[in-house]
Amino acid sequence: MPNMSLKKNEMPSQEPNVRNKNFSEVALGYTAEQAVDEANRCLNCKNRPCVGGCPVNIAIPDFIQEVQKGNFEEAYQIIAKSSSLPAVCGRVCPQESQCEAKCVRGIKGEPVAIGRLERFVADWHNDHSKEAPKRPAPLGRRVAIVGSGPSGLTCAGDLAKLGYDVTVFEALHTAGGVLVYGIPEFRLPKAIVQKEIDTLKELGVKVETNMVIGRVLSVDELLEDGFEAVFIGSGAGLPRFMNIPGENLKGVYSANEFLTRVNLMKSYRDNSDTPIQHAKKVAVVGGGNVAMDAARCAKRLGAEEVSIVYRRSEKELPARAEEVEHAKEEGIVFRLLHNPTKILGNEEGFVSGMECVEMELGEPDASGRRRPVEKAGSEFILEADCVIMAIGTSPNPLIKTTTEGLETQKWGGIIVEEETGLTSRPAVYAGGDAVTGAATVILAMGAGKTAASAIHEYLQKKEK
Amino acid sequence: MYRIAKKQKLNATVTLMEIEAPLIAKKAEPGQFIILRVNEEGERIPLTVADFDRERGTVTIIFQIVGATTEKLNHLEEGDCLQDFVGPLGTPSHVEGLRKVAVVGGGVGCAIAYPIAKKLHQLGAEVHSIVGFRNEELVILEEQFREVSDRFVLMTDDGSCGEKGLVTNALQKLIDAGEQYDEVIAIGPLIMMKFVVRLTKQYNIKTVVSMNPIMIDGTGMCGGCRLTVGGKTKFACVDGPDFDGFEVDFDEAMARSSIYKPFERHAYEEACHLFEKEVR
């Protein structure tokens, strides 16, 4: 019997005023009953538009059919054919603009909660399945992956499933890229990321941390060392600043630094040696998911007032609607159509406030977004003892400057063939934010997937 | 895990360790640094590569016990392992083409100055080393410096060893005596580097300083180590740590280095309590 309710089954979650004081996961996940009930909303339609909306083309109706029958492990196996990180994607994908945007049930009412079901299935598998993934017959051919973020891990997983001997090189001491240093624990528990990485290791993927490619080994040395292909998934980790006065005062962080201290170094815990400023009034500049994450972390560290300062209006906020909603529920103040012009400091060199100016929206610019224009004479001072700059990142130049013949865009993105991810260097592929600039987890995964199949095709043709 | 192959006490608060890290030992150049983590709860701290042995696959670090992490590090013994050890990071010091150089080291900064002096010596440059310490008990690497220096001047604040005074006094004296340097390389506390630069600027002698700001990742992804150099924001971990001393905003760098003072003091006391040791 299909469930004809127009609404999704709600996701149980922590109360806003409880969760804004802890780092535990906000959304608690479906129970088995809730999952089966939600799965019954799927009509198993013939043309399956949802599959086309998924960047890695998971056979969505097929896995949902298994959930309907209570066959959760079978459901997992169907997802695992297409995705290496389902517990992650079920949590952080912007489903509203991908699979769920295409769902037929969404025409009249809400779409099927595909993301929540994927999450349920992946968590169920991780909690119940003891079976190690089956390793394919080894091909005896080595591929190197630079960076252990979503694109690198996906590429590694796909190649390992084909039998390649894959080594992932990670610069930090923990694998996962933005999944561990960027996205906070309350959105994506680090134990879940670790579990997904452990699954890849069981498939035979080797992960080497503390390996800064470009310094300890170059891409060329990897090729000389016997790796037959290299995939660069080094991301876009170089933070941008506004270049306004006062940006080097004590208490001004890039979102990357703030989030790395909080998420990777666990500075919110008493037993962590890494310090962080426990500020009272925090201003976060920017309107993307990173800004939301930074603001919600600052609140959890005990700030009395946390504001998002964004130069456009709510409609233009690049963050996911759900994240904005969660931030508002947790008491984050939105100062929209505001732009900082100067950061002010006290006599000890600490931040004391931020001069802002009000904005209004003018004509659309080349990108189609209405350009914000300063309102003359509207300057005012926002009190703050901490400012977090979340205005974007660029690709890290380390690989570019140490790999001869690797062509990049003016802004640093690696130039690749769209269909394969092949760079200007033979046998060297790239994908994710290193190519596109800061984008989403799932797009990075899609790029990792594309490159994995291109690498497979290339190596099949190439003599061993 | 990275094994400690050798541990040697250089003075009451300064320790030398050789760490087994063959890949880093193979690549490291003077002026570069590593980032280490003592244990799972540990913070990441940058330390300059003081020496390396490419054949034995070891990297030498020299650290002063100034806080919780260096205290914990100092409690490890030969055969123990460090959780994480990553590098070589930063841009190597520029040494090619220099014919006559004054290398100025202050305190534990001498551990960074030494490999540069050694490299310059190997390249055939005339090296004048000026090293300064608070007193005789804190002197480190004297023999090593003598070996690679054409002139060696040891200064102590209280005159308990070598000459009494600051490194800037010694440098002034050499300049007054007519020594002509292609470059001065100054490495030590920010205040020392600031005053060396103030002196050399008067004579327009190119001066390179090695900056030591707070760092987290050391790979250019957070900007925690940013400095103002020639009016522009630079990341010391990738653009440096060496910079043109005339261009560096030292006052800003000194302010930024003090951001976590209260936290550090507290953490250090806790660490000392853990090891039942009195805080100086």
Report the pLDDT averaged over residues B163-187: 95
Rounded CA separation A442/A69 (Å): 28
- Residues of chain A contacting B41 with CB distance shorter than 8 Å: 266, 271-273
β-strands A333-336, A305-310 pairing? parallel
* Beta carbons of B44 and A274 less than 8 Å apart: yes
Global pTM reads: 0.92
How many beta-carbon pairs under 8 angstroms link A with B? 108
Chain B interface disruption, residue of A146, A181, A215, most B CBs within 10 A: A215
Taking CA–CA distances from B28, the nearest residue in chain A reads A216
Judge whether A248 and B226 are in contact, CB under 8 Å.
yes
Q: Other C-beta atoms within 10 Å of B22: how many?
A: 14
* Beta carbons of B224 and A257 less than 8 Å apart: yes
* Beta carbons of A238 and B221 less than 8 Å apart: yes
Judge whether B20 and B57 are in contact, CB under 8 Å.
yes
Q: How confident is the model at residue B280 (pLDDT cuts 50, 70, 90)?
A: low
pLDDT tens-digit profile, chain A (464 residues):
788 888 999 999 999 999 999 999 999 999 999 999 999 999 999 999 999 999 889 999 999 999 999 999 999 999 988 888 899 999 988 898 899 999 999 999 999 999 999 999 999 999 998 877 788 899 999 999 999 999 999 999 999 999 999 999 999 999 999 999 999 999 999 999 998 899 899 999 999 999 999 999 999 999 999 999 999 999 998 999 999 999 999 999 999 999 999 999 999 988 888 999 889 999 999 999 999 999 999 999 999 999 999 999 998 898 988 899 999 999 999 999 999 999 999 998 999 999 999 999 888 887 777 888 999 999 999 999 999 999 999 998 889 999 999 999 999 999 999 999 999 999 999 999 999 998 888 889 999 999 999 999 999 998 77
* Distance from the A307 Cα atom to the nearest Cα atom in chain B, whole angstroms: 21
Closest CA to B165 of B208, B206, B209, B133: B133
Rounded CA separation B71/B81 (Å): 15
Taking CA–CA distances from A177, the nearest residue in chain B reads B221
Burial class of residue A431 in the structure, from the number of CB atoms within 10 Å of its CB (0-12 exposed, 13-18 middle, 19+ buried): buried
Q: Which residue has the tokens 């390996």?
A: A211
Phi, psi of A439 (to 5 degrees): -135, -140
Q: How confident is the model at residue B68 (pLDDT cuts 50, 70, 90)?
A: confident
* Beta carbons of A209 and B88 less than 8 Å apart: no
Nearest to B217 among A217, A248, A260 (CB): A260
Q: Is B229 on the interface with A (CB under 8 A)?
A: no
**Residue B267 pLDDT:** 78
* Beta carbons of A212 and B219 less than 8 Å apart: yes
Residue B181 has pLDDT above 80, yes or no: yes
Q: Is B33 on the interface with A (CB under 8 A)?
A: no
* Beta carbons of B24 and A271 less than 8 Å apart: no
Chain B interface disruption, residue of A173, A181, A240, most B CBs within 10 A: A173
Nearest to A349 among B220, B255, B263 (CB): B255
Q: Which residue has the tokens 């399956």?
A: A48
CA-to-CA dists, residue B94 to A333, B91, B123, B235, B244, angstroms: 49, 9, 12, 18, 11
Give pLDDT tens digits for B201-224.
Answer: 999 999 999 998 999 998 989 999
Taking CA–CA distances from A401, the nearest residue in chain B reads B238
**Residue A367 pLDDT:** 74
DSSP conformational letter for A430:
E
Specify the length of chain B in residues.
280
Q: Which amino acid type is present at position A51?
A: V
Closest CA to B128 of B145, B150, B107, B106: B150
Which structure tokens are listed for B189?
């506390």
- Residues of chain A contacting B24 with CB distance shorter than 8 Å: 216
Closest CA to A220 of A49, A401, A75: A401
β-strands B58-64, B81-82 pairing? unpaired
- Residues of chain B contacting A240 with CB distance shorter than 8 Å: none
| Chain centroid to CA B67 | 16
Q: Is B221 on the interface with A (CB under 8 A)?
A: yes
* Beta carbons of B41 and A349 less than 8 Å apart: no
Chain A interface disruption, residue of B19, B214, B222, most A CBs within 10 A: B222
| Chain centroid to CA A368 | 25
Q: Which residue has the tokens 């003075």?
A: B11
Q: Dihedral (C-alpha) A328, A331, A332, A336: value to the nearest 10 degrees?
A: 60
Q: Is B135 on the interface with A (CB under 8 A)?
A: no
Residue B278 has pLDDT above 70, yes or no: no
Taking CA–CA distances from B41, the nearest residue in chain A reads A272
Taking CA–CA distances from B224, the nearest residue in chain A reads A257
**Residue B85 pLDDT:** 97
pLDDT, mean over chain B: 92
* Beta carbons of A215 and B87 less than 8 Å apart: yes
Taking CA–CA distances from A272, the nearest residue in chain B reads B41
- Which segment of B22-36, B152-166, B253-267 scores lowest on mean pLDDT? B253-267
DSSP conformational letter for A309:
E
* Distance from the B79 Cα atom to the nearest Cα atom in chain A, whole angstroms: 20
Judge whether B18 and B6 are in contact, CB under 8 Å.
yes
Rounded CA separation B212/A424 (Å): 37
Q: Dihedral (C-alpha) B257, B116, B22, B56: value to the nearest 10 degrees?
A: -130
